[in-house]
Amino acid sequence: MRCSLGRALDVIGDWWSPLIIRDLFLGIGRFDELVEDLGISRNLLTRRLNLLAEAGVIERQAYQLRPRRWEYRLTAKGRDLVPALLALTEWGNRWAAPEEGPPMLFVHTGCGGPVTPTVVCSECGRPLQADEIRAVAGPGGAAGPGTRVLARRLTLPH
Amino acid sequence: MRCSLGRALDVIGDWWSPLIIRDLFLGIGRFDELVEDLGISRNLLTRRLNLLAEAGVIERQAYQLRPRRWEYRLTAKGRDLVPALLALTEWGNRWAAPEEGPPMLFVHTGCGGPVTPTVVCSECGRPLQADEIRAVAGPGGAAGPGTRVLARRLTLPH
DNA sequence: GTAGTAAGTTCAGTCATTGAACTTAAGGTG
DNA sequence: CACCTTAAGTTCAATGACTGAACTTACTAC
């Protein structure tokens, strides 16, 4: 698929991958811990971990030899995914938090304060809102699955 | 599932929903257009649209009577999801863009400039990085699927 | 009255996911 | 030495989700 959202979803577009990445981010990195924390079935976790490793988002490291025991951790590419997942989490907090309040909060060690992850425009720094954003065709713009109708819309008018 | 990421994924945790929401955001709102643009099968699109509508993320509106024809559009809850999806798209641009460059760019009508969606700390305004964020238990913190191991980690140490 | 369009529904086949049991390679206990 | 335990998987049957193609309905235009 040509669009960058589609390419991101190729990596984390299933139900479990974002949760696996969140758990690795939080320091839960061993196979049985992930099974217990998420309730994912073992064979599926095996496949997901392999796919995420192939995609370069996570890597496997031995934390002990004899017997060899493994731990999974985020790569730079995977760590860079965390802010985007936090933005999604924040949406969940705003629109679908349980009555008691969010089960988890985040602290920014840079400033010491509680974080409300916010997606802003890198140019002007203001929070992004859907109605203030217009899409235009980029350099790699072409029609393909995921942009068949879109390609016509982006190039024709204006 | 108790965590807010899990709750967000309950709504958009499959492969198609984020793409559907992106298309609605870009003005592609009719059934056959969505089928053509995404290449999704018709029966699945029907189900996804119904689920997203049930979740309050999209709504159906007639754009013509006799014969009745429908159009789907984002609700406020759905529009609020767009910045988070843009953050994900931006990750796709950084780590998985095609050689020719990203197929689509965004312009911020507020400042007129090209947008690079960035996730920042709402307190200090600095871009979030995985290694500068610490998780702490929130008011609704309890052990359940998705936080079984986590609950022990968050409350016990420190 | 024949063709076309938009928005679906129906159905057979395939593929993904679940849940439970089993495997492998060690280490520790009596 | 025999037995139990742990971590990290693998294997397998059953169920559920998704795909692709054909069909349906309600209308308009020629």
The spacing between the Cα labelled CA in A32 and the C1' in D5, in angstroms, equals 14
B76 vs A contacts (CB less than 8 Å): none
At A151, list the tokens: 């390609």
What pLDDT is attached to residue A80?
98
Fold classification of B1-80 (topology level): Arc Repressor Mutant, subunit A (1.10.10)
B15 nearest nucleotide via C1' and CA: D18
More confident residue, A140 or A103: A103
3-state SS, residue A156: coil
Residue B156 pLDDT greater than 70, yes or no: no
Exposed/middle/buried for B76, CB within 10 Å: 0-12, 13-18, 19+?
exposed
Indicate the DSSP class of residue B145. T
- Helix residue ranges per DSSP H, B13-147: 17-25, 31-38, 42-54, 76-79, 82-96
Residue of B53, B135, B58 whose CA lies nearest to A102? B135
Of the listed ranges B20-34, B39-53, B115-129, B144-158, the one predicted with least confidence: B144-158
Alpha-carbon separation of residue A57 from A63, A116, B115, B152 (angstroms)? 19, 24, 25, 26
Residue A156 pLDDT greater than 60, yes or no: no
Q: Where are the domains of chain A?
A: 1-80
Residue A157 pLDDT greater than 60, yes or no: no
Task: Please give, rounded to a whole number of angstroms, the shortest distance from the CA of B117 to a CA of chain A.
Answer: 5
Q: State chain A's maximal CA–CA distance in angstroms.
A: 66
**Digit-coded pLDDT (tens) for B67-107:** 899 999 999 999 999 999 999 999 999 998 888 888 889 99
What pLDDT is attached to residue B6?
94
Of the listed ranges A15-24, A55-64, B27-36, B135-144, the one predicted with least confidence: B135-144
At A121, list the tokens: 């425009």
